[in-house]
Amino acid sequence: MLIAFAAFTLLSAQEREAAAGRQLADSILARSAVVTSPEIERYLERLTARVQAAIPQLTSPLNIRVIADGACRNLEALPGGYVFVPALVLLEAQNEAGFEAEVLRAAAHLALKHGVRTSPDGMRIIYSGGCEEAIPLGWREQRKKDEIEAAAFSVEARKAMPPSDASGFAAAQAEVRRTMAAPSRKPPTLRRKSETATVPPQPLRR
For range 178-201, the mean pLDDT: 51
**Is residue 201's pLDDT more than 50?**
no
**Is residue 124's pLDDT more than 90?**
no
pLDDT at 27: 86
The highest-confidence range among 62-66, 164-168, 200-204, by mean pLDDT, is: 62-66
pLDDT digits (tens, 9 = 90+) for 69-109: 755 678 888 888 999 999 999 999 999 999 999 999 999 99
Of 41, 40, 42, 64, which Cα lies nearest the Cα of 51? 64
122 falls in which pLDDT band (50, 70, 90)? low
187 falls in which pLDDT band (50, 70, 90)? very low
Question: How far apart (Å, rounded) are the C-alpha atoms in residues 144 and 115?
Answer: 12
Residue 136 is inside which H or E element, if any? none
In DSSP notation, 58-124 reads: -SS--EEEEES-BSSSS-EEETTTEEEEEHHHHHH-SSHHHHHHHHHHHHHHHHTTTTEEE-TTSS-
Helix then strand then coil, % of the chain, to nearest 5:
50, 15, 40
pLDDT at 181: 83
Cβ neighbours for 166, distance < 8 A, ≥ 6 positions apart: 96
Q: Which residue has the higher pLDDT, 12 or 87?
A: 87
